[in-house]
A and B are shown apart, each in its own frame.
Chain A
Amino acid sequence: MLGLENKDTKFLLVVVALTLCTPIILQPFPEGSSLAQFNAGYPDLMQRFAIFGIFAIGFNILFGLTGYLSFGHAAFLGVGSYSTVWMFKLLSYNVLPGLVLAVITSGIFALFIGYISLRRSGIYFSILTLAFAQMSFNLAYSVLTPITNGETGLQVYTDDPQYLMGEGALTTTHVFGLAMNKSLIVPIGGWEFNFNVGYYFCAIIAILAFYLSLRIFRSPFGLMLRAVKSNQQRMNYTGLNSRPYTLAAFVISGMYAGLAGGLLASMDPLAGAERMQWTASGEVVIMTILGGAGTLMGPVLGAGFIKYFENIFSKINDNVLHGWFSFLPDGIEDFFINIVNPFFGEGWHLTLGLLFMCVVIFLPGGLMEGGQRILNLLKRKSKDTADDDSAHHPKQSPHVAE
């Protein structure tokens, strides 16, 4: 089906099912229970899961396949966001022109940066991409303020031209009249599920992006890219010029990033310059490695993991902690709170750092390997003949220079 092998079709269907059911899966705890804090099924976060999933999938096409570690991918994310918001400012709140422009401009941007940076490899390549991204960020924050609105971030104002805005048109982002912020809230029992238009819009695009990356992974082009990773020199000796392939991969992954940036702006019409900072580039590197570079699902998992932390753990304050431990006697309650307090709320960075280290130390293949191990363990228990699933989760090989 769809030009995929049987196994891949099944895999894709599972991904589609999971994506569509996300609003239910992420809402495991009933409202009002003390664990509701850990629910993540609200529009903003679900949208972010899908969007950063796209970002990481795109990054993985470059890094996972070719081994080229770009430290400047956030620049494309930012360019995409700015393009989209500019389309809102000039045309209307319909997101489609913005997304198209986002993909195009980030593609051009990636072609330019890629053409120069790919003249070098290894860490020299990483630093070149980092330098371009940091230059973009620094300029966007200060000198380019007329285009980017600097520190505040590019926003739509009521006095913007918006030439295509008809009378009574929606004043929030939409696709042909279907507003992104519309939600259907379904309470079932103690639970409350939020089905949001914006999320499903992102989810559908994410599935398409995933499908495309699946095709790339399985195509001769993908094979060529893997060859670049395993031994570029040998490839060159056989008379093949690897540069066009790596450049194509770079531009494609830049366009993925631009698409993600455009979607971010479509869900929330503001483009902040920090989106281009090196920390943002670092974030997608971390997502990809954390999830499992070179695997198809890994980067998406990594993206979800980090965004979940950023949004859920940072909101657990003293008050919430007191709620959790209120069943304990006073003295012991305070004692427990003092112990866990540094890891929650304002300490969420600490927990995140510790988890990074644990994952990298104990699961060299990222979260995917963790899943794999658990799966194998279960399989071994049920039947001894464990399926070889390596087609989906290729064996981890060293990604960069060894």
Chain B
Amino acid sequence: MDALLLQILNGLDKGSAYALIALGLTLIFGTLGVVNFAHGALFMIGAFCAVTLQKILSLSSTTLDPTKTDFLGNPAKIETPYVESWFGPEIGAALIDWSVPLGILFAIPIMISIGFIMERGLIKHFYKRPHADQILVTFGLAIVLQEVIKHFYGANPIPTPAPDAFRGSFDFGSMLGFDPNVIIYPYWRLVYFFFSVLIIGGVFAFLQFTTFGMVVRAGMADRETVGLLGINIDKRFTIMFGIAAAVAGLAGVMYTPINSPNYHMGMDFLVLSFVVVVVGGMGSLPGAVLAGFMLGILESFASMNQIKAIFPGIDQIIIYLVAILILLTRPRGLMGRKGVMED
């Protein structure tokens, strides 16, 4: 029981990441009908927004300290971040400490503009092209984005810790009456989970309760008719692309303290998030979210020793196995609509 509860918790934060990426992917797919293989790269760029902000905040003035030497025997350099000299050491240090949450503010405008540029500059020309071409061109774009990041930041992961206040973990089990140390949960993962619920809720509310969202939903269902009604659906779809990019980017920003970001993290998520989208059902937003959490939790279950003892290596294949089973029993995934991407 406690072990199951523990793995459900672990599955939730894994699922949050899958759900957020899959949500954006489905938004783009559902509105624009474009299969975006660069979506993983957008997640990665979001993470590097946080890294960049951290770098900017810790830009330093250097002074030489003759009392110490560096590894070559030259006088050591003492670096003082500008923010510390401008705002005083305490506020400055706090700013650097909080660089990941601040990264959200930094990432939103960047991601939305990247989304706009991508849609207007590239994706727009691919609406009428076959899906295979869309896959290839966005895959090419993903490689390019990835290599650009590698060129500037190197291939190794870059540490981006959470603010001090959120480091460490709390004993969730003892709150529920279990023994201490049975169910522990890091604070930041809890933050990540609530953050993703907030974003997902926000996107749904936006689509459900605003006129803009209503038009977009109508456009998703029948683009032509909406166009005939004299509504400029293209412009709205561009905005949706920007929003989807921002969702992926924010998922990336907040993910950085969980795992240090590196340039190929997007590719690591890309295939999984496609599986999530398809298992959820093409074109279905609730399906994507549901499938994201479901696969995250199942993946956590599969990594339990008790289960691995019965099926060795099950944790290596669980996601794919579940995907196959679901697609064979439910032809269009969990909540897919008929006729989307089927022929």
Contacts and interface: CB of A to CB of B under 8 A. Distances in A.
A124 B333 contact: yes
Interface of A is mostly: helix
A232 B313 contact: no
Given A120-B327, A130-B275, A134-B271, A360 B320 contact: no
A355 B122 CA distance: 15
A119 B328 contact: yes
A128 interface: yes
A282 B139 contact: yes
Interface residues of A, number: 47
B331 interface: yes
Nearest to A396: B130
B141 A400 contact: no
Interface string B112-150: 000000000010010001111101110111111011100
Interface stretch (A138-146, A168-176, A387-395): A138-146
Contacts of A347: 147, 151
Interface in A91-117: 116
B312 interface: yes
Nearest to B282: A123
B136 A289 contact: yes
A386 B24 CA distance: 48
A72 to B, nearest CB: 10
B275 A131 contact: yes
Would you call the interface of chain B mostly helix, strand, loop, or mixed?
helix
A353 B147 contact: yes
Contacts of B148: 350
B324 interface: yes
A401 interface: yes
Contacts of B135: 285
B215 to A, nearest CB: 25
A342 B144 CA distance: 11
Given A356-B136, A401-B343, A138 B317 contact: yes
Interface of A: 69, 116, 119-124, 127-128, 130-132, 134-135, 138-139, 141-143, 232-233, 278, 282, 285-286, 289-290, 293, 342, 347, 349-350, 352-357, 360-361, 364, 398-402
Q: Pick the 3 closest A-B CB pairs, nearest first.
A: A353-B143, A356-B140, A143-B313
23 contacts: A116-B328, A120-B331, A121-B343, A122-B341, A123-B342, A124-B331, A124-B342, A127-B278, A131-B275, A134-B320, A135-B321, A138-B316, A142-B316, A143-B312, A143-B316, A282-B139, A290-B136, A293-B132, A347-B147, A350-B143, A353-B142, A354-B140, A399-B130
